[in-house]
Amino acid sequence: MTKETKKQGFATRQIHGYDVRVPGINPLATPIFQTSTFVFDDCAQGAARFAGKEDGFIYSRIGNPNVEQVAKKVAILEGAEAGLALSSGMGAVSTVLLSLLEQGDHIVADLALYGATFTLMQDALPRYGINTTFVDATDLDMVIDAIKPETRMVYFETPTNPNLKVVDIAELVKRVREKDPLILVVIDNTFATPYLQQPLSLGVDVVVHSGTKYLNGHGDVISGFIASNKTIIDRCRDIGLKMVTGSVLGAFEAFLINRGLKTLDIRMEKHCKNAMKIAEWLETQPKVRKVYYPGLKSFEGYEVAKKQMKLPGAIISFELEASKEAAEQFVNSLELITLAVSLGDAETLIEHPASMTHAGYSKEMLEEAGISETLIRISVGLEDADDIIADLEKHLAAV
Ligand code: LCS
C-alpha cells in the first residue's frame, strides 16, 4: 500500500516521500480516507492491533492513512526517523511539552517566541509545575547560565517570530550537550521549513512545525508536525496525542497538506527571492527606520543564517520613522498586501505583532524580547515582487 523513498533528492521526496497506493483502483492522488474507525476481520485481529502485534489502522485518533502519509513525508524531509501530524502548530508544541516533561521540570526558552507558545510556557505550564526561564538564545552564555539541575528542555525558534533573530543551532546544541547531555533541544522550524534548514542534522532532538504555514502553503488548513526519533514520536503519540491533547489532524486537511508539500521547494525559492528584493528596497527607504531580515548584510543574524540556512526565508519585519498612528494608517491603507495574521501563504500578509500575534506579552516582556511596539511584520507571498513594492511605495509616500 505504501512506498517509502528516503535517499532521493528533496524535490523527489516532497512529491513521492510516502506514496499511498490502493490496489485494484490505483488512483494517482491519494484518496481521502474520511473515516473515524477501521473494520477488523475478527476479534483476534482487533486484539493484535491494540497489542501492537499487527500493523494496521484502528481508529483515526490513533492513525489514518492520509495523516500518516503527511507525517512520514515531513519526517523524511526533516531527515527524521519518525513524525507525527497534529491538528495545529499549538497542538504540536503542547503535545511535545506535555509528553516529554513532568511536574518539577524546567525549560530554558528564548523569549522571542510565537505569542501562544510564550503564553503556554509563561501562564499555563506553571499550573502543572513546569516552569520556564526566558533568555536570549542568541546569547549562548545566557542559555547555559539559565540551566538548572532540573532543566529538561531548551526550546527556541530560528528565525524567531516576529523579529527574525537567528540562533546558531549547532553551537547551541554543542554548548547544551557539554553542560548536560540529557537535556532535550527542541526547535520550532516553522519560519525556515525543512527546505531551508534541517535542525536534526545539526544535533537538535525534536523539530516542531506549524504546518498551517509554508508546509501547506495555501492558507486553507490549520495543522502541526513533530519530527524526531522513534522513541520520542511514540511517546508524543501514545501519551500526548492519544490521551492528553487529542489534537488529531483530519484526513481532508492531511490531503491538502500532502498536495501543498509537492511544491514546497519551488514555493520557498520564489518566497525568498521576493523577500530579498523587498527587504533590499525597504532598506533604501528614508521613512523606514530599521529592517529585520536575515538576508541583509546589515542584519545581526546574517552570518549565522548564511551558515545554517539555504536561503534567508520570507518573513520581513520593519519599523517606520513614524508615530504608531501613522504606521497603523499605513497598514490600513495597503491594497494588494492583506491585513491578516498567519504567514507562509501565496498572498502577502501584513500584521502588527505587538497588538496581534504577540498581544500576550506585557509591555516590559515585549521590550525585553526585542519586539518593538511599532514593529510591522510582512509574510512575503508569491505575487510579483514589483507589485508588492508598488503597494508599499504608494502608501509609504502618504506616511
Ligand atoms: N510556531 C510558530 C513559529 C508560529 O508562527 C505559529 C503560529 C505556531 C507555532 C502555532 O501554529 P498554529 O497552531 O497556528 O498552526 N503563528 C501565527 C502567526 O504568526 N500568525 O498567526 C499564527
Fold agreement between 3-31+63-261 and 265-396: no
Measuring from atom 16 of ligand 1, which residue has the nearest CA?
Answer: 342
Strand partners, 144: none
Instruction: Please give the pLDDT value at position 73.
Output: 98
Say if residue 2's pLDDT is above 70: no
Fold of 265-396: Aspartate Aminotransferase, domain 1 (3.90.1150)
Cα–Cα distance, 194 to 198 (Å, whole number)? 5
115-138 pLDDT, tens digit each: 999 999 999 999 999 999 999 999
- The cell for 267 is 514555493
Q: Assess contact for 166 and 301: CB atoms under 8 A.
A: yes
What does the domain layout of the chain look like in residue ranges?
A: 3-31+63-261, 265-396
Contact 125, 132 (CB under 8 A): yes
- Structure confidence by residue, pLDDT tens digits, 345-387: 999 999 999 999 999 999 999 999 999 988 999 999 999 999 9
Residue from 210, 315, 316, 349 to probe ligand 1 pocket by mutation (most atoms less than 8 Å from CB): 210
Rounded distance, CA 282 to CA 275, Å? 10
Q: What is the pLDDT of residues 51-65, one digit of tens each?
A: 999 999 999 999 999
Note if 386 is an active site residue.
no
For residue 373, report the distance from its CA to the centre of ligand 1, in Å: 19
pLDDT at 235 over 60: yes
Section 92-104 average pLDDT? 98
**Res. 162: pLDDT tops 80:** yes
pLDDT score recorded for residue 324: 85
Residue position matching grid coordinates 521526496: 13
Into which CATH architecture does domain 3-31+63-261 fall?
3-Layer(aba) Sandwich (3.40)
Under 8 Å between Cβ of 108 and 131:
no
Residue in 73, 213, 270, 377 annotated catalytic = 213
Ranges 1-10, 151-160, 254-263: which has the least confidence: 1-10
Q: Please give the full DSSP string across 184-241, using - where no structure is assigned.
A: EEEEE-TTTHHHH--GGGGT-SEEEEETTTTTT-SS----EEEEE-HHHHHHIIIIII
> Is residue 297 flagged as an active site residue?
no
Closest by alpha carbon to 314, among 262, 274, 356, 257? 274
Q: What are the tens digits of pLDDT across the range 15-34?
A: 999 999 999 999 999 999 99
Res 1 pLDDT > 50? no
Mean of the per-residue pLDDT values for the chain? 96
Looking at residue 4, what is its pLDDT? 53
State the pLDDT at residue 3: 53
Q: Is 262 annotated in the active site?
A: no
Q: Is the pLDDT of residue 179 over 70?
A: yes
Considering Cα of 131, then 133, then 137, then 140, what sign does the dihedral take? negative
Q: Which residues line ligand 1 (CB under 6 A)?
A: 88-90, 93, 114, 116-117, 157, 161, 188, 190, 210, 212, 222, 224, 341-343, 357
pLDDT in tens, 266-283: 999 999 999 999 999 999
